[in-house]
Structure 1
Amino acid sequence: MRAVAVLLVLVYHLNPALLPGGYVGVDVFFVISGFLITSLLYREAGEHGRVSISGFYVRRVRRLLPAATTVLLTTGVVAFFVLPVTRLADTAWQLVASAAYVENLYLARQAVDYLASDTPPGPVQHFWSLSVEEQFYLVWPLLFVAWSLARRRWRAETRTLVVILGSVLVLSLACSVLLTQREPASAYFLPLTRAWELAVGGLLAVGLAHGSLPERWRPLLGWSGLAAVAVSALAYDDGTPFPGWAAALPVLGSAAVIAAEQSDGRLAASRLLGTAPARWIGDLSYSLYLWHWPLIVFALVLTGRDRLGLLEAVAVAALSVLLAWGTRVWVEDPVRDRNLVRGGRSALTVATAGVVTVAAVGGAVYLQVDREGSVSFDPAVHTGPAALGQAPDTELIYPSPVNAEDDVPTLYDDDCQASRTETDPGDPCVYGPEGADTDVAVVGDSHSAQWVPALEKMAAERGWRIFVYTKSSCAFTDTVVKGPEGGPYTACGEWNHAVVDELDELRPELVFTSSSTASGPVEESSPEQERAEMAEGMSRLWEDVAQVSGEIVALRDTPRARKDVVECVATHIDDPSRCERPVEDAFDDADPQEDAARSLDERVHWIDLSDRFCVDGGCPAVIGNVMVYRDAGHITSTYAELLADDLSARIDRSVRL
């Protein structure tokens, strides 16, 4: 079953199209781990009347840390030379998080961080599953310690242990189902949503310790379990809400295979799983899991592709197996066979040394990032749109590619951008003097929020007050839009109508809005129909706003850059023109805001600044020594502020305040 688990994950990572649900291999691992560890703990408690916590962790250190530390150190060194500098800071943090077995918590935080949601995969992010296991095993052995104590003092029976372990399973499953519905991005990585999978294996271990199933049922049970795992690997994909209820199929399937045990029947699944190749892959499964992912990430970077070709995939798979075998022979086996980690003190020393060494490598990687990001802003040099069409000085680009993704409006630090779940605008963030004569409201999604630096500059010059009502991924429309997870984004509609109510109280002289053209209605249709539906929803909402405000300004969405625009500039720092995107690609989505503005005649003023981004048929990534983009869809705060004069002039042509 270890071989099944690791091959599912390996194939999925090499080519998701072959096994779109191959990620369930991790869940198979969880069940196996829960079964094996619980078997050891239950046997120890039964034979000795107690459980040695120190002995448990000594075994964990001896089994896991040598190979894990080897892979982390090697990956950190290779990353320094292979990865673009823009990815080194995140890699450095992930190295440390993985060494400390908190990588899952790091990724869970990153998953719900809107600004980090497009971060490219790191070479050690697969350590999240190992982190889940180790966090689980901070608690699980203590339950056996408590049961052993109760057994000695009050003669507690096995059923007491089953109730305790079963309670963990039920509570964790409930958390898994609820969080997968409410916070699916972070639920995937949290120990609370995964503990029940290990607990299933644990309860199975306790049950089988008291007897096996009848022989006649084992072949059918084994093949049914394998079929359940196979179906989930083939039928699930990245859009399947997971873990939640969906995880029950591979988890129960894995438990069924284990419960079938070794069978004498000629047609038993155990015959297939017990073959020499399956046992050999199973023995290498831990090291193979550790090595395969960093090799895939490095191969993608070196080839410059989003997906590996057949030859590259075969080469990565072969090298993964070779490194796994070498790690097993020269690292894992010597540590185990020579008993190099004997007691608690030596285990603590090995664990501490591993974390410190990996942290040192991570620190060295991070220092490289710090050196690359040392350029300071100079208004005489960093002129932005004023130098559109001129070749930049590549040694003076600001913000540097390594810092571009952090060049965001201050409203994010001020916690002014509403999250995807919020529906009540509450008290908005306000920028500008309190005694201002003109109130300006900013509404829309992050593509509206990105213009706040320019509006802040205008506010300082004109004495405006800026009220911010922006929400992540929420276009300012009455149309039911598709949410980040694919379903209806109901929180967006509630938010937008609540914003209109707030504007009724505020009565601003100017309402400013812009939205991403990537937003679309929840009901998919043709591009023309979707655009018309979005425009109609905008018209309805904007008309409501026009009743309670002065002027409305709608700004055309900014051109979309390459998906890897920041990484591209870092890679081609001597010639950032290679990262330029053709105009027809940058504006491949028509903007429904234009249709909505024209339908409302004089009540909405349509402003188009695309000529300050694109020239001669292309949209550069660097203009006037300034990074234009911080990711594929958002401009840097610096470039937005440098567009303040252009925006001011365009507003003055249309609006009288």
Structure 2
Amino acid sequence: MAKTTQSVRTGTQRGPVAAPSAASAYRLDLDGLRGVAIVLVVLFHIWFGRVSGGVDVFLVLSGFFFTGLLLRQIESGGAVRVLFTVRRTLRRLLPALLVVLSAVVLAAVTLRPITQWADLANQTLASAFYYQNWHLALASSDYLAADPSVSPLQHLWSMSVQGQFYLAITVLLAAVAWTLRKLGRPAQVRPTLLVLLGALAVASFVYAMAGENANQSWNYYDSFARAWELLVGGLLAIAAPWLTMPRVVRTVLAIAGVVIVAICGELVFGAAVFPGPAALIPVGAAVALILAGNNLEPEHRPLLLRWLATRPAVELGGMAYSLYLWHWPFLIFYLSERGRPMAGPIGGLGVIGVSLVLAYATRHLVEEPLRMRSARALAAAQAGEPTDRSRTFSLAPILLRLRKPIGALVAVIGLVGIGASATWHIAMGANGPQPPTSLDPVDYPGAEALAAGAPVPHARMRPTILEAPADLPYPTTDGCIADWSTTDLVTCDYGDRTAERTLAVVGSSHAEHWIPALQILGQQHGFRVRVMLKMGCPLTVSDDISYKGETIPDCHDWSRKVIDRLGEERPDWVFTTGTRPLDGPGDETPQDYLDVWSQLADRGLNVVAIRDTPWLRHDGVRYRASDCLADGGDSTSCGLPRDYALNPVNPEAEPASRFPNVFPLDMTDAVCAADVCPVSAGNILIYHDEHHLTANYSRSLAPALGRAMRPILHWW
């Protein structure tokens, strides 16, 4: 490394440092740490189906490098060059991102059914404009084991968080520098920033800690909840000149940091708790490694850090960004094509190998030539001077000459990919297909074809595969179901709203999807349907409730409010689900449901416990009916064997016999044939996603549901 000038990486860019020192010397070992972290991210995604903590290490390093760059701008020139910094950051980040996004769009159009294009177009735009984390938070997406149902762009939430941080910290430091100049105290920039960023970091950490308990789905992607991890790195960059310690302490920090980074993914299930207090584990490991080599010349740093500064580790760190971009979409497309939830040993090695090749090509054919800016860089390369912190570019003259055509090609690729996504987004958003609000029961007998043998004339299936996502039950469209983070009761009335008799429908969306049928029955037979519903939350008295593997901590409190309200209002009947699917074949009535029945019995309430409908899954992988049909399947092949979806005997029947207030209701014969549970019946699509009934199919269930409820309610 040259002693007169050195390249300084922010994780996104470089800038000259006027006076090198032990404190300002570029940390090659942290490049190596970046390489180790990305390897762990890839390995844990591919073979363990969980997060490794590597992304959290990335966030700390990004905050450290980027804040350090801005500080050097202030201390060398008295101000932050905002537009210059933004332009250089985008030049570093966008080319590789646009190439990957365009490749994903092309792969999706080629390999994925048309029913998935709209969501992928939305996520492509969200990723390109750095709001993917908010898109996922609003969609309440989880970040659990990778499987074919997961978006190939889901991993780009972290790029969005970093991009938002880069912009915010650039503007903030520019404002601080300007203010201190006006006050005549430019030398106080570091103390001022320590106080300001420290306060923001504490506020962010407290916010993340609260968010873990309130709504972890949102918390995981929330930029402010993540900010403290980046701010910790920024605070280290600010305080670096003052941080010294004995050699033995540095050695201990280096060993502890490397070990914790390596095993963090096994120590904690990060998707369920990061960026709350548990994220202190990977963040603390990154801090330890930064401190272990701080204010030391490279040759005096602990042995582990010198190993991290070796060429293989540094080269891997140089490819970290591209490898992160490529590995996830390639993994998801591989799993989707293979129809598996995990890649396996051989498949995983193949994913890693292809991802490394793509990352190497992207770095050297896209990123490097577009970062080389001037004839001075060309002259330096020709003179044998390093233009990169890790090695001399032997291809630099060639790459520089190709810079303009490569830039033009990347721009065209990006415009095509982003343009195609924007076009599909606009087309589906403004003029997307809308499901019918009613269907002729003669042409569309729906559930009656299964339950009563009604004839099925030839007619186009409705809703269509593109209409299905919008064919939702009334509470969802009316805002009458509590979302993930709401503990307040949201109540609405359907059926005959003036009736004296009341059927209270309570629980999760699997109680909700019977509302269109109950709406018809209520109007026909004169009873009110009152809903008390919450997403993913069946009525429960347990403290441990989850949906798709993610805990819903406020479900217990919400359920307690519902049970108390039912005791106060005393509806004539309570309608809720009485079973749930098992992870493998069949379904069950868990003890928690029996505890709820006891609570309702204590309040003198009668319960209609309906058996849950089958959930579409294959080898543990969820899939949507519309996707399967769009991919060439038919109603039967896209369905499930009945003996796999459900037990031969309704599992709620026996325990319900011990509760005189509980009446089990099994509508399986109205959604399943004798040997298969199809995805459409009587010309109506049964599911609008993996496991919820379409509103149109629910309406077609009204006659069969009415026949089944008549001997229970005795209202008609």
Query: TM-score interval w.r.t. the shorter chain?
Result: 0.7 to 0.9
Indicate yes or no: 2:288 matched with 1:256.
yes
Residues 429 and 467, structure 1, Cα contact 8 Å, conserved in 2: yes
Instruction: Identify which of 457, 469, 474 aligns with 2:520.
Output: 457
Indicate yes or no: 2:678 matched with 1:614.
no
Partners of 2:432 and 2:487 in 1: how far apart?
40
Task: Report the counterpart of residue 343 of structure 1 in structure 2.
Answer: none
CA offset at residue 454 of structure 1?
A: 0.2
CA offset at residue 363 of structure 1?
A: 3.5
Task: Report the counterpart of residue 409 of structure 1 in structure 2.
Answer: 473
Task: Report the counterpart of residue 334 of structure 1 in structure 2.
Answer: 369
Residues 559 and 586, structure 1, Cα contact 8 Å, conserved in 2: yes
CA offset at residue 369 of structure 1?
A: 6.9
Partners of 1:243 and 1:477 in 2: how far apart?
28
Matched position secondary structure for 1:466 = strand
Q: Structure 1 residues 518, 474: CA separation in 2 closer, same or farther (over 3 Å shift)?
A: farther
Instruction: Identify which of 139, 163, 168 aligns with 2:168.
Output: 139
Cα distance per residue 1:405-460 (max 9 Å; x no partner): 4322111121211235544436x201234433533322232221111100111122
Query: Which amino acid letter does the alignment assign opposite residue 229 of structure 1?
Result: V
Instruction: Identify which of 113, 125, 133 aligns with 1:96.
Output: 125
Indicate yes or no: 2:93 matched with 1:64.
yes
Indicate yes or no: 2:57 matched with 1:28.
yes
Q: Structure 1 residues 430, 535: CA separation in 2 closer, same or farther (over 3 Å shift)?
A: closer
Instruction: Identify which of 163, 183, 195 aligns with 1:163.
Output: 195
Task: Report the counterpart of residue 597 of structure 1 in structure 2.
Answer: 656
Cα distance per residue 1:102-149 (max 9 Å; x no partner): 001111111279xxx999321112111111011112221233223323
Residues 77 and 361, structure 1, Cα contact 8 Å, conserved in 2: no
Query: Which amino acid letter does the alignment assign opposite residue 385 of structure 1?
Result: A
Residues 98 and 410, structure 2, Cα contact 8 Å, conserved in 1: no
Instruction: Identify which of 633, 636, 641 aligns with 2:699.
Output: 641
Q: Structure 1 residues 578, 470: CA separation in 2 closer, same or farther (over 3 Å shift)?
A: same
Matched position secondary structure for 1:541 = helix
Matched position secondary structure for 1:635 = coil
Residues 578 and 664, structure 2, Cα contact 8 Å, conserved in 1: no
Q: Structure 1 residues 212, 357: CA separation in 2 closer, same or farther (over 3 Å shift)?
A: farther
Cα distance per residue 1:454-475 (max 9 Å; x no partner): 0111122223322112233333
Q: TM-score, normalised by structure 2?
A: 0.80
CA offset at residue 476 of structure 1?
A: 3.7
Instruction: Identify which of 378, 381, 384 aligns with 2:446.
Output: 384
Partners of 2:314 and 2:484 in 1: how far apart?
47
Partners of 2:94 and 2:616 in 1: how far apart?
42
CA offset at residue 96 of structure 1?
A: 0.4
Partners of 2:427 and 2:675 in 1: how far apart?
36
Indicate yes or no: 2:471 matched with 1:436.
no
Indicate yes or no: 2:366 matched with 1:320.
no
Equivalent residue runs for 1:130-279 within 5 Å = 130-152=159-181, 153-155=183-185, 156-157=187-188, 158-209=190-241, 213-215=245-247, 217-238=249-270, 240-261=272-293, 263-264=298-299, 268-279=303-314
Q: What are the ranges of 5 or more consecutive residues in structure 2 without an aligned counterpart? A: 1-32, 376-407
Q: Structure 1 residues 294, 433: CA separation in 2 closer, same or farther (over 3 Å shift)?
A: same
Matched position secondary structure for 1:218 = helix
Which structure features the higher share of helix residues?
1
Matched position secondary structure for 1:441 = strand
Cα distance per residue 1:341-396 (max 9 Å; x no partner): xxxxxxxx999999865441213555897999688675343321233389989983
Instruction: Identify which of 614, 633, 642 aligns with 1:559.
Output: 614
Aligned-residue Cα RMSD (Å) equals 3.5
CA offset at residue 216 of structure 1?
A: 5.3
Indicate yes or no: 2:76 matched with 1:47.
yes
CA offset at residue 41 of structure 1?
A: 0.9
Residues 31 and 251, structure 1, Cα contact 8 Å, conserved in 2: yes
Cα distance per residue 1:475-509 (max 9 Å; x no partner): 34556663449899774454445434444554444
Partners of 1:592 and 1:339 in 2: how far apart?
73
Task: Report the counterpart of residue 5 of structure 2 in structure 1.
Answer: none
Partners of 1:394 and 1:85 in 2: how far apart?
24
Indicate yes or no: 2:482 matched with 1:418.
yes
Task: Report the counterpart of residue 7 of structure 2 in structure 1.
Answer: none
Residues 127 and 156, structure 2, Cα contact 8 Å, conserved in 1: yes
CA offset at residue 628 of structure 1?
A: 1.6
Residues 641 and 677, structure 2, Cα contact 8 Å, conserved in 1: yes
Task: Report the counterpart of residue 636 of structure 2 in structure 1.
Answer: 577
Equivalent residue runs for 1:80-95 within 5 Å = 80-95=109-124
Residues 214 and 553, structure 2, Cα contact 8 Å, conserved in 1: no
| The 10-residue stretch of structure 1 (139-148 or 128-137) with the greater mean CA deviation from structure 2 | 139-148
CA offset at residue 644 of structure 1?
A: 0.2
Query: Which amino acid letter does the alignment assign opposite residue 317 of structure 1?
Result: I
Cα distance per residue 1:276-333 (max 9 Å; x no partner): 2111111111111111111111111121211112222222212211111221222112
Q: What is the identity percentage for the equivalent residue pairs of Structure 1 and Structure 2?
A: 32
Query: Which amino acid letter does the alignment assign opposite residue 633 of structure 1?
Result: H
Q: What are the ranges of 5 or more consecutive residues in structure 1 without an aligned counterpart? A: 341-348, 521-526
Q: Structure 1 residues 45, 607: CA separation in 2 closer, same or farther (over 3 Å shift)?
A: same
CA offset at residue 511 of structure 1?
A: 3.3
Residues 447 and 557, structure 1, Cα contact 8 Å, conserved in 2: yes
Partners of 1:391 and 1:213 in 2: how far apart?
83
Query: Which amino acid letter does the alignment assign opposite residue 413 of structure 1?
Result: T
Matched position secondary structure for 1:511 = strand
Instruction: Identify which of 500, 510, 524 aligns with 1:447.
Output: 510
Query: Which amino acid letter does the alignment assign opposite residue 605 of structure 1?
Result: F
Partners of 1:364 and 1:95 in 2: how far apart?
12
Partners of 2:140 and 2:285 in 1: how far apart?
29
Residues 480 and 490, structure 1, Cα contact 8 Å, conserved in 2: yes
Cα distance per residue 1:186-217 (max 9 Å; x no partner): 11111111111111111212222457555554
Residues 477 and 541, structure 1, Cα contact 8 Å, conserved in 2: no
Q: TM-score, normalised by structure 1?
A: 0.86
Partners of 1:7 and 1:557 in 2: how far apart?
42
Cα distance per residue 1:58-117 (max 9 Å; x no partner): 11111111111111122112211112223222111000001110001111111279xxx9
Task: Report the counterpart of residue 316 of structure 2 in structure 1.
Answer: 281
Q: Structure 1 residues 120, 136: CA separation in 2 closer, same or farther (over 3 Å shift)?
A: same
Cα distance per residue 1:590-617 (max 9 Å; x no partner): 766434532234x443322111122232
Cα distance per residue 1:212-266 (max 9 Å; x no partner): 5555543332222112212313322256511111111211211221222354359
| The 10-residue stretch of structure 1 (254-263 or 193-202) with the greater mean CA deviation from structure 2 | 254-263
| The 10-residue stretch of structure 1 (586-595 or 633-642) with the greater mean CA deviation from structure 2 | 586-595
Query: Which amino acid letter does the alignment assign opposite residue 387 of structure 1?
Result: A
Indicate yes or no: 2:336 matched with 1:291.
no
| The 10-residue stretch of structure 1 (120-129 or 201-210) with the greater mean CA deviation from structure 2 | 201-210
Alignment length (residue pairs): 631
Partners of 2:220 and 2:458 in 1: how far apart?
41
Q: Structure 1 residues 172, 315: CA separation in 2 closer, same or farther (over 3 Å shift)?
A: same
Partners of 2:121 and 2:98 in 1: how far apart?
14
Residues 476 and 541, structure 1, Cα contact 8 Å, conserved in 2: no
Cα distance per residue 1:546-600 (max 9 Å; x no partner): 45xxx64332222333221425533554533112212222114976643453223
Task: Report the counterpart of residue 346 of structure 1 in structure 2.
Answer: none
CA offset at residue 514 of structure 1?
A: 2.3
